[in-house]
Amino acid sequence: MVQFETVIGLEVHAQLKTKTKIFCGCSTEFGKEPNENVCEVCSGMPGVLPVLNEKVMEYAAKMGLATNCTVNQKSIFARKNYFYPDLPKGYQISQFELPICEHGHLDIAYEDKSGEPCKKRIGLTRIHMEEDAGKNIHSAAENASFVDLNRTGVPLIEIVSEPDMRNAEEAVAYLKSLRSILLYLDICDGNLEEGSFRCDVNISVRPFGQEEFGTRAELKNINSFRNVHKAIYYEVARQIDLIEDGEKIIQETRLYDADKGTTHSMRGKADAHDYRYFPDPDLVPLVIADEWLAEWQASLPELPAERKARFESDFKVSEQDADLLTSEKDVADYFEAVLDSYNEPLKVVNWIKGEFLRELNQSGCSVSECKFTPEMMAKLVELVDKEVISIKIGKDIFNEIFTEGLDPVKFVKDKGLEQNSDSSSLEAAVDKVLADNPNEVEAYKGGKKKLVSFFMGQVMKETKGQANPGIVSKMIQQKLS
């Protein structure tokens, strides 16, 4: 049987967080009434002229700098011609021959199917600037279709990768890493569901050892990382099945159906576009001055990879923990804010990656919406660390104090949850447990030393989890020796 290798290349469209559109002064604000954010320029009236929003070139160039690209100090806007109701000009202003950034790369770290940590460098072909199209809205109730041009002219960068990825895990890691950089740069809000971060997944397969690439399908309409993963698995199996049945893969665009977990053909190569790209005569070549480039380079924030390295060296957290903490900027900021109040990185990281991230995921809120402040988290870790409460109590109360945003110190005091280190009352509890379980005491004395954890559990039950485990464990062993 022939073994097949998967080849994946990704195209990402990231909506830039500018206040105004790319070639006019209209607002980019989301959620307005249809066609509220529209003027003569972005609605494609004849005779108007586009003027580049300089934030767009700054953001595009910064993304290039952050991904090891060459920033072309001269780049050209081109018209990509096609007809669609959401594109009133009949062409999209994009870049073709001389994009603003080229030849970059991104280093990804991920776990493969079997959970092995892996690293890889993924080539970045280009990053170019372009305008978004509008939106067609189909109303069954009114039996009509409408066009909303609010999104027309909203700035995008398209980031095109080399066909360097070989499986779904690499593709998802690459996408997460790109998204993370966009968020660190604060140039895109990275929302897959709302479409401010959209990815097209190009996939082909080839027999292992064959140099030539197979024919690819391009998958669209995938709006979560989980679905990227699922779509790739489905599509790879589909292509291999076809080839094994002696059929040919056709180059086409396929849509992912999230409900069915399948892909289906949207358009084939037969009606593939010939966009007739040509330089836009309304826009002069974009020339980036040396000073601008130097200024953008100097103003780059600390990026995920640098922050990860700093976390490893300064806080001595493991590489995996550093990765987990820094891949979401919000989480990394939260972590550092906790340390400002209680500087015990290794203890804090356990609470962040365990309880905090779990509750955060379950609540569905973002770090900024979360009511449990870094100061509260710091107090909780300190309470456990100083043995005021047991770790078990800390975990038991976490959901409530997290959800409500309660001060842990006050909460523990009000509920009387402080750990019991009072030896006379603990001794009473230990004595009771030993008296209630004569068979286990017998077995322990006969050599089943593991039973100490059984006695511990019983004492904890007896004391509602408040017994100081260190003291109790010593006490049990003394009494039984």
Residue 163 binding ligand ADP, by CB under 6 A: yes
42 or 160, CB closer to Zn ion? 42
| CA dihedral of residues 470, 474, 476, 480 (deg, nearest 10) | 160
175 binds ligand ADP (CB under 6 A): no
Q: Which part of the chain contacts Zn ion (CB under 5 A), choosing from 34-42, 194-202, 312-320, 424-432?
A: 34-42
The correct pick among 28, 152, 202, 227 for binding ligand ADP (CB under 6 A) is: 202
Rounded to whole angstroms, what are the CA distances from 343 to 335, 382, 398? Answer: 10, 10, 20
Contact call for residue 330 and ligand ADP (CB under 6 A): no
Beta-sheet strands, E only, within 162-237: 197-207, 217-222
- Tell me if 293 contacts Zn ion by CB under 5 A: no
d(CA 53, CA 256): 34
- Cα–Cα distance for residue pair 397/407, rounded to 1 Å: 11
Residue 322 sits in the site that holds Zn ion (CB under 5 A): no
What distance in Å separates the CA atoms of residue 355 and residue 339, rounded to the nearest whole number? 17
- Indicate the length of the chain as a whole number: 481
Query: C-beta of 38: minimal distance to Zn ion in Å?
Result: 6
Of residues 232 and 338, the one with the C-beta less far from ligand ADP: 232
Q: Is 61 in the site for ligand ADP (CB under 6 A)?
A: no
Binding residues for ligand ADP restricted to 132-161, rule: CB under 6 A: 160-161
Q: Residue 56: name its binding partner from Zn ion, ligand ADP, none (Cβ under 5 to 8 Å by kind).
A: none
- Span from 40-48, 107-115, 190-198, 264-272 in contact with Zn ion (CB under 5 A): 40-48
Tell me whether residue 37 or residue 161 sits nearer to ligand ADP (CB atom).
161
Could you say which DSSP state residue 410 is in? Answer: H
Q: Does residue 9 touch ligand ADP according to CB under 6 A? A: yes
- Other CB atoms within 10 A of residue 10 CB: 24
HEC states along 104-161?
EEEEEEEECCCCCEEEEEEEEEEEEEEECCCEEEEECCCCEEEEECCCCCCEEEEEEE
Q: Is 10 in the site for ligand ADP (CB under 6 A)?
A: yes
The answer for residues whose C-beta is within 8 angstroms of residue 47's C-beta and 6 or more apart is none
Q: Are 263 and 235 in contact (CB under 8 A)?
A: yes
Of the CA atoms within 13 Å of residue 214, those in its CB half-sphere come to: 28
Region of 202-210, 233-241, 321-329, 448-456 interacting with ligand ADP (CB under 6 A): 202-210
- Site for Zn ion contains 149 (CB under 5 A): no
Contacts of 236 (CB under 8 A, 6+ apart): 4, 6, 203, 205
Between 158 and 323, whose beta carbon lies closer to ligand ADP? 158
| Residue-by-residue DSSP string for 59-83 | HHHHHHHHTTPEEPSEE--EEEE--
Residues within window 426-455 making contact with ligand ADP, judged by CB under 6 A: none
Site for ligand ADP in 214-273 (CB under 6 A): 214, 216
Instruction: Tell me the closest approach of the beta carbon of residue 112 to ligand ADP, in angstroms.
Output: 19
- Give least dist CB 92 to Zn ion, A: 15
Does position 162 bind ligand ADP by CB under 6 A? yes
Report the residue closest to ligand ADP, judged by CB: 9
Q: Is 5 in the site for ligand ADP (CB under 6 A)?
A: no
Which residues, 6+ apart, have CB-to-CB distance to 428 below 8 Å? Answer: none
Please choose, from the candidates 242, 105, 249, 111, the residue with its C-alpha nearest in 3D space to the C-alpha of residue 167.
Answer: 111
Q: According to the binding rule CB under 5 A, does residue 39 interact with Zn ion?
A: yes
> Residue 242 Cβ, how far from ligand ADP at the closest point, in Å?
15
Q: How far is the CB of 165 from ligand ADP (least distance, A)?
A: 8
Rounded Cα gap, residues 392 and 465, in angstroms = 7
Binding site partner of 10, from Zn ion, ligand ADP, none, Cβ cut-off 5-8 A by kind: ligand ADP
Least CB distance to ligand ADP at residue 250 (A): 13
* Residue 471: partners with Cβ closer than 8 Å, 6 or more residues away: 421, 423, 426
Binding site for ligand ADP (CB under 6 A): 7-11, 160-163, 202-204, 213-214, 216
